[in-house]
Structure formats: C-alpha cells, structure tokens
A and B are shown apart, each in its own frame.
Chain A
Amino acid sequence: MNWLLDLTPDEWNAVRLSIKVATVAMLASLPPGILVALLLARGQFWGKTVLNGLVHLPLILPPVVTGYLLLLTFGRRGPAGAFLAEHFGIVFSFRWTGAALACGVMGFPLMVRAIRLSIEAVDRKMEAAAGTLGANSLWVFATITLPLILPGLIAGAILAFAKAMGEFGATITFVSNIPNETQTLPSAIYTFTQVPGGDEGALRLTLISIVISMAALVASEVLARRVGRRLDIE
C-alpha cells in the first residue's frame, strides 16, 4: 500500500491545485448562481429564454468548444481578458485562475439548476407572511428564502465542486496543462497515460480522485440531512 501514498511532489501539486481550483470555482459561482437561479425561477422579463439557453450552453457544447470560447474571450488578447488584465490586473490565460474560471463555467448550469428547483419549491406565502411582519424584500430573502433553499444550495455547490474536480476538456483548451499552475488531477492523469511507465502514477491519482469525490458526496449528504432535519417541513 505504500506506493499509494508515496506521491511525487508534482502529483501532490496536482491534488492540491485541483482542490484549490474546484473550491474557488464553486465559491465564486455561488453568488451569480443564486442570482441567475432567482431570475430564472421568478423573473418575468424579455430574453429569459435566451438567458436560460446561455446558462445551459456549457452543458451541451463540447467542452473543447467552451474552452476555446473562453480563450477567445478571456485570453490575453480577448476583449474581456484584456480589459480585466489592464484595469484589475486579473489574468486568466495559462494561470490557475483560468482553470477555476473554466471549471466554474462548466459547473454553472448544474449549480443553477439545483438552486432554481429549490427556489421554485419555496412556498411564497411564507415570504408574504414575513412581509406582513415588517421585513422588506431583501430581509425576506436573507431570513426566509435563503434558509429554505439551503438544501438546494448545498446540492448545487457540491455538484459544481464535483464537476470542477473532473473538468478536463475546457480547462486544457483554455489554460493548457502546465505542472504547478494549471495541471489539475484529470490533466495529470492524462499526462501519465501519455508517457511510458506512467500507469502507476495514473492509478494513484485516479484513486485519490475517487476518494475526494466520494468525500464531497458524503459531506453533502450529511450536510443536507442536517439542514433537512432542521427544516422538517411536514
């Protein structure tokens, strides 16, 4: 069993990087995810179908295409990439931040879907009741809607995290496969399979990948059950 835990520094870096990228992708997409889910669940505006389509695009496009579109938009010479680099010093291309962006975009439809469903399940009469008690819409959202959609929020976040852990196509297209910077677990496994004698390393990383994903799933189950028990809606 010793060979399993005996990771090379590069392998450790891939594990650490993957967790960092997935965590940042998940956390950064939560606020826009909630906002878009709210708009889709409750908003009535022109272009709602278009927004819905845009959000779901990464789910149906080949990941390579999404990655390439990100490269065109957020690359050094892309309109958004150039703007962000010039005014805020944020650079995505060939950086781990770019990997997080690619992972976040790929997981976004899954997250929005889960949150949207839970928002649609909220009894709006509860919100009306909170309104008669003096809460304005912001407070109603913070004290009633948000706690009631917490299980959906957790589910959406974990889905996005898991998706980010496994993201490969868009990431490698957008930010390439640079050890220590953009080489996440899937890229590292891919690299191992491309070199002679890399089987052992590929297997090690595969097992680690399974353990992390399972841990995330179990954590989400435990969290959701705890929140569910607290809510306990008949």
Chain B
Amino acid sequence: MSVLVDISHRLGGFAIDARFESAGRLTALFGASGSGKTTLIDMIAGLIRPDKGRIEVDGRVLVDTGAGIFVPKHKRRIGMVFQDARLFPHLSVAGNLRYGRWFTPPAERYADIDAVVDLLGIGPLMNRRPAKLSGGEKQRVAIGRALLASPRLLLMDEPLASLDEARKAEILPYVERLRDETKIPIVYVSHSVAEVARLASDVVMLAQGNVVASGPTEAVMQRLDLLPAEERGEGGAVLDTRVLRHDETFGMTVLGSAAGEFRVPQLAMKTGTPVRIRIRARDVMIATEKPRGLSALNILPGTITAMSPGEGPAVEVGIDCNGATVLARITEQSRQALKLHLGGKVFAVIKTVSFDRANTGAGLPAEVDG
C-alpha cells in the first residue's frame, strides 16, 4: 500500500506546495499549526479540491488535475477521524458505527463490527447518545465509525489534540493496536513530537506548506532543527527496542537495542515485546570518560557524528552508539570545556527516570515495520 501526494494549492495568502510518497503502516504528517497538514489530509479525503496536482492511494488515482480526474469523497473509501469527532448527534453510538457500513459494497466489507467494538473497547457504549460520551469515548467511537466503513486508508486529523493528557493516554494504546492489529494503512496528522515518535513508522515533516523532510521516523526525528519551536524541548532520538527482562527488585525493565541496554521504569509488557522509546535530547548528558560514582543507570559508549548549534546557548550533538544515534543537547560552554569534536569517543548518560509513559510506547512489530 502506498500514498502519493503531489499537489500545489493556494488558499488566500497561503500557498501549499507539497510532494511525498509513503508506504508506511502509519505515516505522520507532522508540523506546526499552519504548516498545511490539515489541508493536505482534507485533499486526500476529497474535502478540498487542489488547484493542481495528483493524489494516488494504492495506485488508484483519486486526483489528477491534468487529466481532469477528481473522485468525489463518497467514492474514495477513505476513512477519516476528525479532531472534533463529528459523531452524528441524532444517532446512537451503534447507529453511528453502522452508518458507513451501509454505503460499502457488500463485497468490500471487511470490517467486522464485533472485532472493531472489541478493539476499541466501546461495547458498553452502544446504546448511548454521542452527547453523553466523554471526549475520549467520542474519539474511540469516531475511530470505530471510520473503520466500519471498511476503508482502504484511514486518515486521522489530530485526533488527540482536543483531549486532556489523561484522555490522550487513554486513546494512544488504541491507536497502537489499530496500527498493529489491522491491515489498514494510516495517515496521522499531528503537531506533537510525543505522538509522532510513539506512533509513526514514517514521518512527513511540513513547514509553511512545504515538505521539509520525510522518511522513517527514527531518521526524520533526528532533525531537531526542523521541529516546531514549541516542540523543540520534546525532540530527541527515537529508538526501537525490545523487552529483554524485568528487574522485579527495583521495579525496572531492561530494554535491548543496537545501542545497548536501557533500564527504564517497569513496563507491563512480555519479554520480547517491541518497545518504541524517545530519548529527549535535553535528558542526555555527555561524559568523555566512563563516569564513576554517578546515579544514572544508562551509560552508552559512542562516537560523535554530528554537532550543530541549537537554540540560545545550546549545541545539539549526535552520538553514534553502535549504529543507533542518540541525540544530546548540551551547552556550548560544556562542549568547549570537554573539547568535544567530531569523531571523539564519548559516553551518553541517561537517567532511568527520564523515561515515562509519554516517551515509551508499544513498538511496531518487526514484520510489518517498513
């Protein structure tokens, strides 16, 4: 499955000119608000007609302005989950869920209502009215409604943006299950580093209507300089790891990765389970020799491969640890004091407690990870 978007469009004073192609399980369209993410996703859904360009999903041409092709939205079979859920107020939860199924040709109905209800845990809500649901429940029902139309592609437009932290934490595991347990490819719009790092297999980064980077999540998230200003602090290396063992004595879990072992607060996951971690650059310290008498438990040897000025007094340092890159944000003063240089051998130091639920999530299963 693949999505190809190559469009240019003018909206008042705002010009959007974007091209990307992705075959990932979950492709994140990532950028600051006003970067054109929602406009792009609306074009894929057929809610906006681009001035010029081409959109293909799985080889099926949905838009080709040159050839005069524009498939209307109700014929695209592309599911959409809106930021504001948009549940139909006059229908029950069950009625909302069944809505799209009705319009799907029987031969193409692959979604099973019981499986979807079970996946999203919305069984107890079936007879309720949308007005009687919490924000998180609404969003889960909206996801279910889109899935039950048996879409070829699922679009999610900042589905968590209007929810508080507790509700986000409630929904995220469902999106992970959606990504891992269904076969539907997902395009996910977000301006949050935490969500993108946790969920995405691929990232398309947007700024002022242009694609500034795209590729696998681990690679794109290295580009701290491209992050929206308000998300800089959240930026850092994204690594795919696996649960090696649990340390019951101290309530920790040991994760294995190419870079070495990470000791993180205990995760309720079986040994061998893939885990996606994000190591915020600001949580990483650099030592030029193996530290002794230090409380931090994660000390990884590596080589400096990149150094670039960050915001204010900061320098962003890339450290290659056995093939996996860890990013550290330190001050220019420390860089000079430690005489850091490209190719220098250093140790990256990360505290166990800097890992929390916000930067540790279910990893993508290896067999489908693009």
Contacts and interface: CB of A to CB of B under 8 A. Distances in A.
A129 B74 contact: no
A134 interface: yes
Given A148-B89, A232-B89, A132 B131 contact: no
A144 B46 CA distance: 19
Interface string A116-144: 00000000011011111111100100011
Contacts of B216: none
A126 B103 contact: no
Nearest to A140: B74
B15 to A, nearest CB: 24
Interface string B87-99: 0111000000001
B90 A230 contact: yes
A133 B90 contact: no
A131 B48 CA distance: 12
A129 B89 contact: no
Contacts of A147: 90
Interface residues of B, number: 29
Interface string B52-95: 00000000000000000000111111111010101011100000
A230 to B, nearest CB: 6
A132 B168 CA distance: 24
A125 B82 contact: yes
A119 B76 CA distance: 27
A195 interface: no
Given A136-B74, A232-B131, A129 B80 contact: yes
Given A132-B47, A132-B79, A133-B146, A126 B86 contact: yes
Contact of A139 (B72, B82, B103, B104): B103
B203 interface: no
A126 B46 CA distance: 15
Contacts of A134: 74-75, 77, 100, 102-104, 149
Interface in A2-50: none
B204 to A, nearest CB: 21
Interface-central residue, A130, A131, A148, A232, by most chain B CB under 10 Å: A131
A56 B153 CA distance: 48
A234 to B, nearest CB: 5
A129 B74 CA distance: 10
Given A132-B46, A133-B145, A232 B82 contact: no
Given A134-B104, A134-B149, A135-B103, A128 B90 contact: no
B226 to A, nearest CB: 30
Given A130-B99, A133-B149, A232-B129, A148 B77 contact: no
Nearest to A148: B90
Contacts of A129: 80, 82, 86, 88
B88 A126 contact: yes
A60 interface: no
B45 interface: yes
A203 interface: no
Contacts, number: 68
Interface in B28-48: 45-47
Given A132-B73, A233-B89, A125 B84 contact: yes
Contact of A233 (B72, B74, B78, B131): B131
Contacts of B75: 134
A154 B75 CA distance: 33
A231 interface: yes
Contacts of B45: 132
Nearest to A128: B47
Contacts of B100: 133-134
Contacts of A126: 86, 88-89
Contact of A133 (B89, B103, B129, B132): B103
A126 B130 CA distance: 13
A130 B91 CA distance: 12
A96 to B, nearest CB: 37
A128 B145 CA distance: 14
A136 B103 CA distance: 9
Contacts of B89: 126, 148, 231-233
Nearest to A230: B90
Interface-central residue, A129, A136, A148, A230, by most chain B CB under 10 Å: A129
Contacts of A232: 89, 129, 131-132
Contacts of A135: 74, 99, 103
B78 A132 contact: yes
Contacts of B80: 129, 132
A132 B80 CA distance: 7
A131 B86 CA distance: 12
A130 B47 contact: no
B131 A131 contact: no
Nearest to A144: B88
B358 to A, nearest CB: 29
Nearest to B149: A133
Given A131-B73, A136-B74, A231-B90, 19 more contacts: A126-B88, A129-B88, A130-B99, A131-B46, A131-B74, A132-B73, A132-B80, A133-B74, A133-B103, A133-B145, A134-B75, A134-B77, A134-B149, A135-B99, A135-B103, A143-B99, A147-B90, A232-B89, A232-B131
Interface of A: 125-126, 128-136, 139, 143-144, 147-148, 230-234
Report the 4 A-B pairs with minimum CB-CB distance, sorted nearest first.
Answer: A134-B103, A133-B100, A129-B86, A132-B80
Interface of B: 45-47, 72-80, 82, 84, 86, 88-90, 99-100, 102-104, 129, 131-132, 145-146, 149
